Amino acid sequence: MRTTTIGALVLVIAAMFTLPACPAKDGGPAGLSEAFQKNHDYESLSRLVGHLRLGMARAEVERLLGKPDYSPIEGQYYYAAADRRTPEGTPVGLIVEYRRMNVRAGREILSGRLESFTPGPIGE
């Protein structure tokens, strides 16, 4: 009986050590979204990128990321991480685009859908 108790205890301890490594620890997309919108931290933002899909409606993207920090031009939006900069001091974050080029017409189309997203330095 003592061996069974020790074995069960070992299993419980092993489970406790593996739980922090589980992807669910962040609460999934909702937990990451809440963390990023509250803290604008790079880790939450970089994990949220895995939940973005080309073609998503802008409203869906904003449910995950919140309102963008800045828009230099219509259809392009920046989400800056508050805790990450390049060595030169440029903010690092995510650039999202809801526009694409119509090569036949030679003009941009504002689609309202996620056309591209690029993590990296945000500078003009």
CA R_g for the chain: 21
Task: Give residue-wise pLDDT tens across range 47-98.
Answer: 999 999 999 999 999 999 999 999 999 999 999 999 999 999 999 999 999 9
Tokens of 68: 């963008």
| 3-state SS class at 98 | coil
Q: Is the pLDDT of residue 117 over 70?
A: yes
Q: Using a cut of 0.85, tell me whether the model's pTM lies above it.
A: no
The amino acid at residue 82 is: A
Q: What does the pLDDT read at residue 17?
A: 39
Q: Quick one: angle between helices 58-65 and 28-39, nearest 10?
A: 70
Q: Is the pLDDT of residue 20 over 90?
A: no
3-state SS string over 31-88?
HHHHHHHHHCCHHHHHHHHHHCCCCCEHHHHHHHHCCCCEEEECCEEEEEEEEEECCC
Distance of CA 71 to the CA centre of its chain: 18
What is the phi-psi region of residue 67: left when phi exceeds 0, alpha when psi lies from -120 to 50, beta otherwise? beta
